Amino acid sequence: MKISKKDALRWFQFFAELPEEEPLGCRQQEIALAVFSQIETAVDARRAQMLREIPGLRAITPEHPEGIPYEPDLPACTLFVGPGDRFPAGCRSCLLGSGLSAVRKTNRCNAACPFCYDYGELDRIPPIGEGLWEIGGCRYREEDLPLLFSLQKKPTGIAYVYLEPFTEIEKYYGVIRRFHEAGIHQHMYTNGIGATEEQLRALAGAGLDELRFNLGATACADSVLTAMETAAKLIPRVGIETPMTREFIAAFGKKKDRILSSGIGFMNCAELHLNENNLPNYFGENMYFCRMGYLSPIVSRDLTLGLMKTAAEEDWPIVLHDCSDHTKFARDLNLRAKEGGWFGQSSYGCEFEHIPYEVFLPVLEDPEFSFLEEEPLPPGYRPGDVVL
């Protein structure tokens, strides 16, 4: 069903007015899914054209983890431009190894970013527990790690996630040392606020392999750039990982020269996806569903591809990685395969209990956004029909 944009708008105006707890009937679901498909198909076509315009674009595939020249029909896990030897090892582990193995400790943050998945909930994040670490959904003490390493298959890499580690970074050094001695690649995410040379030196001494700065959290603040420059001298791999927003692109542009000369090796351009916490901060943006999973502002990955094109044309000395919703889609397929899941199994999916149909009204009302192909609705699906 290639529903027209006009009919799509009419139906979604109706769906947006329904009580949240009232489910759509089967035919109404068909209409909604047809609209999501039309939006995504149009977005994909525009992205395909943008990808064709990026010189030197490379794809990482299961057969070619080092990257090969991009072609549209490749089974690409992700895309990048720049020197392949600078592509972050943590991302290779996430996409082709044992997945994003999260190690969690901190339930606090020293910022409140509008793109944060816990926006508005930061003071209600449950603690892991004094002296405890969450690994694989279970809790461990540092002294339990040798037993864990001896009994279970070691992951290709782990990531320190779940709010801001530098709020209590001194608790991390011993655990990092244990994973380092076990030969497991480790990367950490930080907003960089308050990171000192002493702390960064201690992380390097403990064996941290990779540190990623979310510059979008501080609009590329000078103090954070200084910390990033220091980290690049001490830790083997240092880079940026930030959701792509208009605000970040504007801040990055003002300090591009300093950032590119800071000694970092990569920049993961994360496509912003939304949940019930951060969605209100982006009302009014044109939205789409990627494979009926992550809900994202269309502009987010557009910003990524535009930045990658500029980086390739200007021959930036760093890798720019297209960490898109499609990359997350591929990540989950890999993870389930490594875990022995059945064919097609994946945990990638919609993060909303009730689909917020109202957030799609802006894209359906946008005169600059067009569906590729339209056809009249069949009888029984048209506005005015009793459609259940």
Strand 237-243 vs strand 210-213: parallel, antiparallel, or unpaired? Answer: parallel
Distance, in Å, from the CA atom of 216 to the CA atom of 191, rounded to the nearest integer, reads 8
Determine the 3-state secondary structure of 300 from DSSP. helix
Distance CA 133, CA 128 (A): 6
Cβ–Cβ < 8 Å for 23, 40: no
Decide: 266 and 242 in contact? Cβ < 8 Å.
Answer: no
Calculate helix-pair angle for 26-52, 5-17, nearest 10 degrees. 130
Residue 224: CB atoms within 10 A of its CB come to 21
CA 127 → CA 122, 138, 161, 256, distances in Å?
11, 13, 13, 37
What letter represents residue 227's amino acid? Answer: A
pLDDT score, position 138:
96
Q: What is the 3-state secondary structure (H, E, C) of 103-153?
A: EECCCCCCCCCCCCCCCCCHHHCCCCCCCCEEECCEEECHHHHHHHHHHCC
CA atoms in the 13 A half-sphere facing the CB of 7: 22
CA distance 139 to 132: 6
- What is the chain's pLDDT, residue by residue, as a tens digit (388 residues)? 999 999 999 999 999 999 988 899 999 999 999 999 999 999 999 999 999 999 999 999 999 999 999 999 999 999 999 999 999 999 999 999 988 899 999 999 999 999 999 999 999 999 999 999 999 999 999 999 999 999 999 999 999 998 999 999 999 999 999 999 999 999 999 999 989 999 999 999 999 999 999 999 999 999 999 999 999 999 999 999 999 999 999 999 999 999 999 999 999 999 999 999 999 999 999 999 999 999 999 999 999 999 999 999 999 999 999 999 999 999 999 999 988 999 999 989 999 999 999 999 999 999 999 999 999 999 989 877 777 6
- Residues forming beta bridges with residue 162, ordered by sequence position: none
For the chain, domain boundaries: 75-90+97-272+320-329
CATH 3.20.20.70 fits 75-90+97-272+320-329, yes or no: yes
Q: What does the pLDDT read at residue 164? A: 97
pLDDT of residue 49: 97
pLDDT score recorded for residue 383: 73
- What's the predicted TM-score (pTM) here? 0.95
Beta bridge partners of 59: 68, 79
DSSP 16-80: HHS-TT-PPPHHHHHHHHHHHHHHHHHHHHHHHHHHHTSTT-EEEETTEEEEEE--TTS--SEEE
